[in-house]
A and B are shown apart, each in its own frame.
Chain A
Amino acid sequence: MIPMLETPGSEALRVELAAFTGPLDLLLHLIKEQEMDIYDIRLEKLTEQYLARLDKMREENLAIAGEFLVMAATLLYLKSRTLLPVQDRPPEEVEEEDPKWELIRQLIEYRKFKEAAGQLGEREALHSRIFGRVPERVTTSPALMGPGQVSMFDLVWAFQKVLRSVEERAKAGRFSDEQFTVGQKIEFLLDRLQPGEEILFEDLFRSMSSRGEVVVTFLAMLELIRLRQLIAKQEGPLKPILIQRAVDPVLDAPSALGEGAGQASVDSPV
């Protein structure tokens, strides 16, 4: 990932500057480029090269991270110090070891971790080529969970229950009573409920004498719900169902059905 620079041309330099992970990285690169021994760095040469790179960065209008400038200051300080005769150095430093060793140590340690990072990168490259099995739970969006532990038996049983209740309802009264038509009951419902008004579901049927009338009225109600003239509401399971007349009925209201409605009719069922 770190390109080795042969010629510091402007194009190459741009690539290079983006690639250096920090001032230590740049210093290591310069040491290698100048074929210096890391234990015997020539501070003057290194500082000169380093500052030249920063100048190039400035010319290229690249944002120079603050750390690069701090390092430049450190290098200048170390260089200036080598120019001073030993007797002119601050007395507390005469006894101490050359502070450039601190930089060298830092460079050596950094280089070890940089190499380790390179090895990690190689491992990463290899192992990113191995794919595990993606659990279904993760691949389908969290909302798409399937029906849970429902068996085919449950499904058939549920459908047969529906059919039974239909039969019961059919036995209890004929589905289409001669006396009532769905059209009549639609009018009845629209008459009974003014826009915005609501009524308990059971109350709608209270006055009705025959089961046939109930069924036809129910069908009329379903039709009106389908046409968005009526709205069936329930606050929760086992709570009473309320039927409300829409305030501003919209005959064709796909927006009420959510975002999926817009893309309808493309997919045919399997």
Chain B
Amino acid sequence: MQQLIPAFGFGLITASILAIAAVGFTLQFSVTNILNLAYGDIMTACAFAAYLANHAGVNIWISLVVGALFGAVFSMLLNRLVYFGFVRRGTRLFGMIIVTIAVSLIIQNLLLAIFRPTFFTYEASQGPSYQLGSMVFTASQLAIMGIAVVAMVCVHLLLTQTQLGKAMRATATNPGLARSCGIPTDQVIDAAWLVSGALCGIAGVALVLNTATFSETTGAAFLVPIIASAVLGGIGQPYGAMLGALTIGIAGETAAALMSPAYKDVVAFVILIVVLLVRPQGILSEIAAAKEVAA
């Protein structure tokens, strides 16, 4: 029982990473209507980019920026060169899921072919530990949580306060109409992929900082909790994704403390299903509900 509070703290760390990732994921879906199941693998690719920088002697936090930049550019190019082409050819939501899975296969196995089947570690120290009540955090964990909060606020401001944010949502709903309102939708979509790709990159590097080692499958293994968080919060809702990430992260760790750790994910996912039965559109659901009426 006295493990509960520390477990809550650990949940916060997982939740922070999950939140960054889930917000990026949900943003991609809400703006481009693509459920990008290659997201986890792009996270891994970003982790590798940061790894290369890190092992070239760059400080880990700057490497994180490298990872974020790589994620941004890579995601944007992926959309331009692959995804958007399929969308233009009339591939719809579930066709696109298969496209993203094919891309996921390709990325993951190219990484495997390039870096070979082994494991990688960053040159980074966790820094001093801090005791908050009975929760313990290392400096880098606190930094990850800080990054998560800042990223969330930025995304919120972007979506609600800027023209770009509105343009993104308009493009998502009705691209043709958006163009006829003067919105350069191609650029807006690029911007959306840049932003979500950067989040993906940050999440990838943060994930590896947390797990200590990584390989070509690290990101993919994290994908289902990301999706669960996004769905729990109501797909397309950045705040919802944050809430979802908190729920999944903390529920998992506390379940591990209270019952068997083997069922950590099971418990988190069962919560997801139960919540959806009560609130079929996720926790925050205005946009989602609107989409349904439109459908």
- Is chain B a partner of chain A in the same complex? no
Q: Residues of A with Cβ closer than 8 Å to B?
A: none
